[in-house]
Chains A and B, each alone.
Chain A
């Protein structure tokens, strides 16, 4: 990696101050994405701002009919949280299946959502559960937050503080892993929420997206067979040595069925 300055602030305000003073400074949470990029010299930040000393960013809270998860909460802590397991078991299950045990003990929800890797797990849950992304400046609806491959509504220097998940009536998640990287090759998160039925596909396309035909089918008839009758078009989906766009399109329907079955 290239040399950079290192800061470890203890409050959001201090972190924001450093970040806004230097457009080439980057926050680091679990480092599970940023560190490999630095090691490969794919990134050349002037400074790295380590968020791990900011206590207010950590932990899960139940607030009425929603769960608020701090940006710095590790995948393992979400997976093992009794609050998450009780309120949104599909979210706990999703967190328990990210990467491997080392990654789950370092990687954070904030880092994952801010990064918006098309093959990541969390963005599917955030979008399907109609969550709200809270930053140091504003509140962003999930529908407005994810803007395609590795792109989000976050502005340079803007810090993700927490994600607020409204508790759904039911939700389910299923994914097929890329055999090599074990990231998502095609996944589906389905949820019956107050704002309606939402079906979100991850892994298959250049970013997470809502599958309107599947949402329609499930609104008419909440069942695995009903969603299983919806074919996903391969147009615009990703293709690589592990899975062509056609294969991914096929998997989308299979995973949607499984997600509905898992949701019950």
Chain B
């Protein structure tokens, strides 16, 4: 019956609507926006990791040509602290240390790149010239670039009143039960590792424009954000005390975020506040070098863990001790990443009956660390999947077999883990088998020998992972310390002639929402994708929303749209019943058509919407005119995508260079709305995962200088570093949201790093290697091979 051709509903690879504007250079990014009379802000940043500001003299700079104003911490000290959105409690129940995070440094700088002063001038060049004329005298203090240095006895305090530079000391799980499991184990496998610190490097650097209308008292902030409503709340309520009704936040086209654009940054508050003071718009655009030292970084865990096994390789217990680097200040969601997005994921796809995890979060003199694509789940997955491979090697059980023996079986759902989460669905054997087949795992030995004949070391590795998306429900996360709800909002506006505008609180910065969400409407309401517009990223247009991160947009935002569409359909049925003189109970709706059941009497959606807006013949006593509905959807649970990733690598033993030859991803992301977009999301995630495994590392020297502070030294993956990535899906439906969807935005970055590293270790097995730390750079691999050769020679 559904005659929409070509089919554009759920399951169709509709081409991305937004790409025409992106690919033809007609996107509208924050820096493309220019407001009449705008001035330009330049931020003077600290060259030191830790220093007291002894002299800060702006007089000479203020007299420079074009300077409008210069502000320092003295001017903003009365304003609020840049807030943290999640409060963790220590083992003893006391709250975490939450030191003030000033907009501009107040007497002290705590990382290279910390904001010291802002110069506002008629041009960017003049602002920079004046910044060079600001006199700053620093008293350099000892810096702690690593967590070890920050926790060393006698380490300098980064914040007054934060003893030992410790933000919190948290744990989850029953330690006594866990200890007992280890005491009874036939085998214990121990493992220590560092999860390398990463810098997101979204293609579009951050930017912000603040504007103030003195006649109305209205502020507007244009910003590169993944969640404009959250920025409005955090900046308006906590930093600048501007009521929501007087503050509009617009996040227009945003060129990638990967988490780094979730947070409320000082620069947003600075331009908004300065616009109010100066009565003219103030624009700030981050430069790439600046973004290396001011965008939140990701990962940076140091972990010791142990796995207890019985004689058959069944996992009996997991014990984890992690130190997580917070950087110099708490970024918006930093505290929850190594706790509720990490420790709760340590069961993975396995039936491990007891898990105990303690996490110490530590302040250091480095850029704040927060969520980065995957946020906690890549760290958990990497730990677990490397540990399982090591356990396989040390028990002599095949690495695929040991996984199978420990999988949560398909009849165990809903499955309660020992670390709080309850999984609703999954089939880990199915995704594993599909990936083994697609990668020709069985035929690998021949490829290893062929590579050996060319003098190359070939290895293969897999990871069977699980993650949690669409963080939820609000009541639960609230009890765990979240200072916000985690629902989403969707409005469906059916126009008089039947086209549709969708307003969503989710935000698209590369994910293709304008297409996927339109497909939901096409599928349910039968409106062609071309007649569905998706509006997002503007607090003045969209009622409310929590934004996009944690692969939540479809599972949570899409569910809100479905609820709103259900309200549209219910109202439409009443109108249809009136027009066709039937009873509401007899009206059926299927993709655009209302029908009196069992008859050929029908009304199209457009006829219903026209009647709703031109209510000449309308049940006006019963229902209001118009056809627009809003729904808030609060998820009942996380969703649990999972799957299997397999990497095959070749190592050149002469140089240590690792090439990923082949990559296979079989993911269960729940129902697939647009397979092409899913494939793109997985491929992008895998590219970032390969980046973490082989290439990327944010490196500080012992003084806290960022050695990898530009593209010259921070190695992002290039096309030539990436193999063909085979993507397939195997679906089990999410059982608790109306679409059955799970999320696909992060699976690629979560499943891939351990698959690559397991392959690297496999390739090096002739050299007695137990583990290789990420990133597996040529120098590192050469060092291992070289040491192995020396050993063999001795």
Do residues A241 and B707 form an inter-chain contact, with CB atoms below 8 A?
A: yes
Q: B699 near A: Cβ within 8 Å?
A: yes
- Cα distance, A2 to B124, chains bound together (Å): 11
A39: nearest residue on chain B (CB-CB)?
B287
**Of B125, B695, B699, B707, the contact of A179 (CB 8 Å cutoff):** B695
B132: nearest residue on chain A (CB-CB)?
A41
Q: With a CB–CB cut-off of 8 A, which chain B residues contact A2? A: 125, 129
Number of A-B contacts (CB under 8 A): 43
Do residues B713 and A40 form an inter-chain contact, with CB atoms below 8 A?
A: no
A 34-65 to B, binary, CB cutoff 8 A, 1 in contact else 0: 00000011000000000000000000000000
Do residues A247 and B783 form an inter-chain contact, with CB atoms below 8 A?
A: yes
Q: B655 near A: Cβ within 8 Å?
A: yes
**Of A3, A241, A243, A250, the contact of B708 (CB 8 Å cutoff):** A241
Q: B497 near A: Cβ within 8 Å?
A: no
- Cα distance, A254 to B786, chains bound together (Å): 13
Do residues B708 and A180 form an inter-chain contact, with CB atoms below 8 A?
A: yes
- Cα distance, A240 to B714, chains bound together (Å): 12
Give A211-264 interface residues, CB cut-off 8 Å to B: 240-244, 247, 250-251, 254
Closest Cβ of chain A to B515, distance in Å, is: 30
Q: With a CB–CB cut-off of 8 A, which chain A residues contact B137? A: none
Q: With a CB–CB cut-off of 8 A, which chain A residues contact B714? A: 180
Beyond A179-B777, A247-B782, A247-B783, is A242–B713 a contact (Cβ under 8 Å)?
yes
B 430-467 to A, binary, CB cutoff 8 A, 1 in contact else 0: 00000000000000000000000000000000000000
Do residues B713 and A254 form an inter-chain contact, with CB atoms below 8 A?
A: no
Do residues B655 and A251 form an inter-chain contact, with CB atoms below 8 A?
A: yes
Beyond A242-B777, A251-B655, is A180–B713 a contact (Cβ under 8 Å)?
yes
Closest Cβ of chain A to B433, distance in Å, is: 35
Beyond A180-B713, A180-B715, is A247–B779 a contact (Cβ under 8 Å)?
yes
Interface residues on B, range: 20 to 34
B 707-718 to A, binary, CB cutoff 8 A, 1 in contact else 0: 110011111000
Give B647-686 interface residues, CB cut-off 8 Å to A: 654-655, 657
- Cα distance, A3 to B129, chains bound together (Å): 11
Do residues B655 and A176 form an inter-chain contact, with CB atoms below 8 A?
A: yes
Q: With a CB–CB cut-off of 8 A, which chain A residues contact B697? A: 241
Q: With a CB–CB cut-off of 8 A, which chain A residues contact B777? A: 179, 242
Closest Cβ of chain B to A25, distance in Å, is: 20
> B125, B697, B712, B779 — which one has the most chain A CB atoms within 10 A of its CB?
B779
Q: B289 near A: Cβ within 8 Å?
A: yes
Closest Cβ of chain B to A44, distance in Å, is: 11
Do residues B782 and A40 form an inter-chain contact, with CB atoms below 8 A?
A: no
B694: nearest residue on chain A (CB-CB)?
A179
Do residues B711 and A181 form an inter-chain contact, with CB atoms below 8 A?
A: yes
Do residues A40 and B289 form an inter-chain contact, with CB atoms below 8 A?
A: yes
Q: With a CB–CB cut-off of 8 A, which chain A residues contact B715? A: 179-180
**Of A176, A181, A241, the contact of B778 (CB 8 Å cutoff):** A176
**Of B125, B695, B707, B779, the contact of A243 (CB 8 Å cutoff):** B779
> B289, B655, B707, B786 — which one has the most chain A CB atoms within 10 A of its CB?
B655
A 1-16 to B, binary, CB cutoff 8 A, 1 in contact else 0: 1110000000000000
Give how many A residues have a beta carbon under 8 Å from the other chain's beta carbons.
Answer: 18
A3: nearest residue on chain B (CB-CB)?
B125
A248: nearest residue on chain B (CB-CB)?
B779
Give B681-707 interface residues, CB cut-off 8 Å to A: 695, 697, 699, 707
Q: B128 near A: Cβ within 8 Å?
A: yes
Do residues A250 and B707 form an inter-chain contact, with CB atoms below 8 A?
A: no
A186: nearest residue on chain B (CB-CB)?
B655
Do residues A241 and B655 form an inter-chain contact, with CB atoms below 8 A?
A: no
**Of A3, A41, A250, the contact of B782 (CB 8 Å cutoff):** A250
Give A72-103 interface residues, CB cut-off 8 Å to B: none
Q: With a CB–CB cut-off of 8 A, which chain B residues contact A40? A: 289
- Cα distance, A247 to B780, chains bound together (Å): 9
Q: With a CB–CB cut-off of 8 A, which chain B residues contact A240? A: 713
Closest Cβ of chain A to B239, distance in Å, is: 31
Q: With a CB–CB cut-off of 8 A, which chain A residues contact B695? A: 179-180
Closest Cβ of chain B to A149, distance in Å, is: 16
Closest Cβ of chain A to B303, distance in Å, is: 23
Q: With a CB–CB cut-off of 8 A, which chain B residues contact A243? A: 778-779
Give B709-731 interface residues, CB cut-off 8 Å to A: 711-715
A 156-181 to B, binary, CB cutoff 8 A, 1 in contact else 0: 00000000000000000000100111
Q: With a CB–CB cut-off of 8 A, which chain B residues contact A242? A: 713, 777, 779
- Cα distance, A255 to B783, chains bound together (Å): 17
B128: nearest residue on chain A (CB-CB)?
A41
Do residues A241 and B713 form an inter-chain contact, with CB atoms below 8 A?
A: yes
A100: nearest residue on chain B (CB-CB)?
B718
Q: With a CB–CB cut-off of 8 A, which chain A residues contact B289? A: 40
Give B303-352 interface residues, CB cut-off 8 Å to A: none
Do residues B655 and A254 form an inter-chain contact, with CB atoms below 8 A?
A: yes
Closest Cβ of chain A to B58, distance in Å, is: 19
Closest Cβ of chain B to A120, distance in Å, is: 13
B696: nearest residue on chain A (CB-CB)?
A180
Q: With a CB–CB cut-off of 8 A, which chain A residues contact B786? A: 250
> A176, A181, A241 — which one has the most chain B CB atoms within 10 A of its CB?
A241
- Cα distance, A179 to B289, chains bound together (Å): 19
A228: nearest residue on chain B (CB-CB)?
B654
- Cα distance, A179 to B783, chains bound together (Å): 16
Closest Cβ of chain B to A125, distance in Å, is: 21
Q: With a CB–CB cut-off of 8 A, which chain A residues contact B125? A: 1-3
Do residues A181 and B713 form an inter-chain contact, with CB atoms below 8 A?
A: yes
Known: A176-B655, A241-B708. 12 other contacts (CB 8 A): A1-B125, A2-B125, A40-B289, A176-B657, A179-B715, A180-B695, A180-B713, A180-B714, A181-B711, A242-B713, A247-B783, A250-B782
A-side residues, CB < 8 A to B, are: 1-3, 40-41, 176, 179-181, 240-244, 247, 250-251, 254
Cβ contacts A to B, 13 pairs, < 8 Å = A2-B129, A176-B655, A179-B695, A179-B715, A180-B712, A180-B714, A241-B708, A242-B777, A242-B779, A247-B779, A247-B782, A250-B782, A254-B654
> What 3 A-B pairs have minimum CB-CB distances, sorted nearest first?
A180-B715, A181-B712, A254-B654
